[in-house]
A and B are shown apart, each in its own frame.
Chain A
Amino acid sequence: MELMIGGVKKKTLKFVRNNVVFSIALIYIVLVILVSVCAQWLPLNDPNRGTLLDSLTPPSYLEGGKEKFPLGTDMQGRDILSRIVYGARTSLGIASTSTLLAMGLGIFVGIVSGFYRRLDQLFMRIADVQMAFPSIILAIALVAALGGASVTNVIIVLAVGGWIEYARVVRSQVLSLKESVLIEATRSLGAKTSRILFVHILPNVISTSVALATVQMPMFMIQEAGLSFLGLGVPLDIPSWGGMMKEGQQLIYNAWWPIVFPAAAITSVVFAGVIVGDWVSRRYEKVQ
């Protein structure tokens, strides 16, 4: 028993030593996720309420700062630290939901396109037309069409922007799997198409998609932050990093902390996410 535990510890240490950057990034991301999930139970100030008396307090380690607000307050006196933590919830929540949605949509289209020739033509044409459009312009059009900034709309817009990659990857997998001996054998055993789809093709396709998702999620976070910054994403009454930077920009001559801290949050989390995603997808390619 002790030997086993010792072995695991050693293996982990060896792994960390060989993949230092990845390990740091992974630990950081896990911490961020943990903190954002447990936000309600942490001793934080109310992120949505502040008094104007506290407006624009500098971070506590600077002159004029108060201990109550470690990272300072924004124009409305709201604590920046807690807004950043709750903003993490918003960003991570939106990014993961839209990734799931995009993945679902993309996998569906990919499988259908792989199997049915005519639908394939249709979907690939749509994909081509969509790709010819700059994605931000499409996002803007979609937000306008859906009636303005809201959390649901952001998720929809992100998912619509992101289904294509999944569809393409899944489709090519399906196309090659279709011709494989396994499928041929299954068919000759009399399996219906639906059974083939679920039992044989879907599992293979899901693992590729998950690898893709780890790379996509940071991208979605950037896009959501950008849309929120433009005022087309998360409405300002919900804490979000992009929204914080939008509000912060108004006061840029008076206070740097409402801008720099959300900026650091976005950059660091996306950077770590890209590192993790990159490593995962490269590992996955090697296994393939």
Chain B
Amino acid sequence: MAAYLARRLVIMVISLLGATVVAFFVLHMTGDPTNLLLPDDALPEEREAFRKQMGFDRPLIVQYWDFLSGLLRGDFGYSYRYQQPALEVVLERVPATVEMMIAAIVLMLVIAVPIAVLSVMYSNKWVKSAYIAVTFLGQAIPGFVLAILLILLFSVQLHWLPASGNDQGLKSLIMPSIVLALFGAPQIIRLLRTSLASVMNLDFVRTARAKGQTQAKIMFFHVFRNALIPFITILGMQMGILLGGSVITETVFGWPGLGQAMVQAIDNRDYPVVQAGILLSAFFIMTINLIVDLLYAVIDPRIRY
């Protein structure tokens, strides 16, 4: 177990390093960042001076090393727009994003699990319609389209819910989390259904039924637990999708979170914030994957590599 953990940590560190390279290159891919950062009408002397001041005339490796050591010290650069360290800007926004993601995950489970379980157990018209509805809303309609249409209906026409911002507590949270939940729900339903269906046909379930156990107890104790592993994998994978989906959802709903901050930062050419956002997202996703992998080993004693 310890060896497994150690190996996973090494992989995570390597992936994080990869993320830092990506973040670094955000600034340097087009060659000279000076052109990206200065207004177009800057004079050549000003550009030279800027270049020297920011150290852009040094070899790339040196600049990267500087960048990396800065990161390790917690220095993610200085946000031009907010006049604060970029890390602070980003960390301020994280709670809002986390709030929305948690609400979305809860909703996603509330929607997906009953549909999946019921559709495997019974073949009922309502369950089928629910399944089709969720799949259609989640996959056929792009997220931001759904979001805007919801705003049109519930904010503009009906005046029930606020169109943007997170200042009205639960009311503000409803639409964004529904949209975000629908991003991931279809996949979870599909996966849960497949794994439930496959477990249901296994021998030991038949034994339980032969022993006289009720369907409900069977579903819960035997079937559901075994379907847990792929379920957790998918949940872990969905975190990545949810984080990506939160970028669009936050922008549509004016939700002051991490995703919106990054999009605005690009608009404002505030690259340190973009870099900090990328690194934080990468770190977050990789931590989740790590936890998922560890949970695997805990849940299924057979998995120990």
Contact = CB atoms under 8 A, between A and B. Distances in A.
Interface of A: 129, 132-138, 140-141, 143-148, 222, 225-226, 229-232, 242, 245, 248-249, 252-253, 256, 259-260, 263, 266-267, 270-271, 274
B156 A271 contact: no
Chief secondary structure at chain B's binding surface: helix
B243 A145 contact: no
Contacts of B161: none
Contacts of B152: 252, 256, 259-260
11 contacts: A132-B240, A133-B240, A136-B248, A143-B266, A144-B26, A146-B30, A230-B248, A232-B266, A245-B144, A252-B152, A267-B145
Interface stretch (B90-98, B168-176, B224-232, B278-286): B278-286
B145 to A, nearest CB: 5
B30 A147 contact: yes
Contacts of A253: 156
Q: Lowest 5 CB-CB distances: which A-B pairs, in order?
A: A134-B244, A136-B244, A145-B29, A145-B26, A222-B142
A143 B19 CA distance: 16
Interface in B251-305: 251-252, 262-263, 266-267, 271, 274, 277-278, 281-282, 285-286, 289
A226 B143 contact: yes
Nearest to B23: A141
Contact of A140 (B28, B163, B274): B274
Contacts of A271: 140
A225 to B, nearest CB: 6
Contacts of B282: 132-133, 137
A253 B163 CA distance: 10
Contacts of B286: 132
Contacts of A144: 26, 266, 271, 274
B108 interface: no
A266 B289 contact: no
Contacts of A270: 140, 142
A75 to B, nearest CB: 16
A193 B248 CA distance: 47
Given A230-B263, A267-B141, A141 B251 contact: no
Contact of B243 (A137, A229, A252): A137
Given A132-B289, A145-B27, 11 more contacts: A133-B22, A133-B281, A134-B241, A136-B247, A137-B282, A144-B271, A146-B29, A232-B266, A252-B163, A263-B145, A274-B140
B151 interface: yes
A231 B28 CA distance: 22
A229 B156 contact: no
B233 interface: no
Chain A interface helix/strand/loop/mixed? helix
Interface string B35-51: 01000000000000000
Contact of B149 (A222, A226, A263): A263
B64 interface: no
Interface string B75-86: 000000000000
Contact of B267 (A136, A231, A274): A231
A215 B30 CA distance: 32
Residue from A222, A242, A260 having most chain B Cβ neighbours under 10 A: A222
A256 B263 contact: no
Contacts of A256: 152, 156
B198 interface: no
A140 B148 contact: no
Given A129-B15, A137-B281, A252-B152, A229 B144 contact: yes
Contacts of A146: 29-30
B263 A232 contact: yes
B151 A252 contact: yes
Contacts of B144: 225-226, 229, 242, 245
A133 B288 CA distance: 12
B25 interface: yes
